[in-house]
Amino acid sequence: MTDYECILLAGIPNAPSVYAPTENPDLAKQRQRQVIEKMIENKYLTEDKAKEILKQAE
């Protein structure tokens, strides 16, 4: 799995029916960005790595 996919999946457990990428792709992407922001805050990701991960979505 890519970092992008892993982070997308990490955001689903909070509300699986709401954040499921198959049901609500826009909400899933929003949640993914929230997870990335928290990972940056907690020093699990750098800004550069986060940008690289988000480019995988394009």
Angle at 44 between CA 22 and CA 34, to 5 degrees: 40
Number of domains into which the chain is organized: 1
Rounded to a whole number of angstroms, the distance between the first and last alpha carbons of the chain is 16
Contact yes or no for 21/4 (Cβ under 8 A): no
Whole-model pTM: value is 0.82
Task: Label residue 45 exposed, middle or buried (CB < 10 Å: 0-12, 13-18, 19+).
Answer: buried
Q: Which domain holds residue 31?
A: 3-55
Q: Per residue in 4-43, pLDDT tens?
A: 899 989 988 978 988 888 999 999 989 999 999 999 999 9
Contact yes or no for 39/7 (Cβ under 8 A): yes
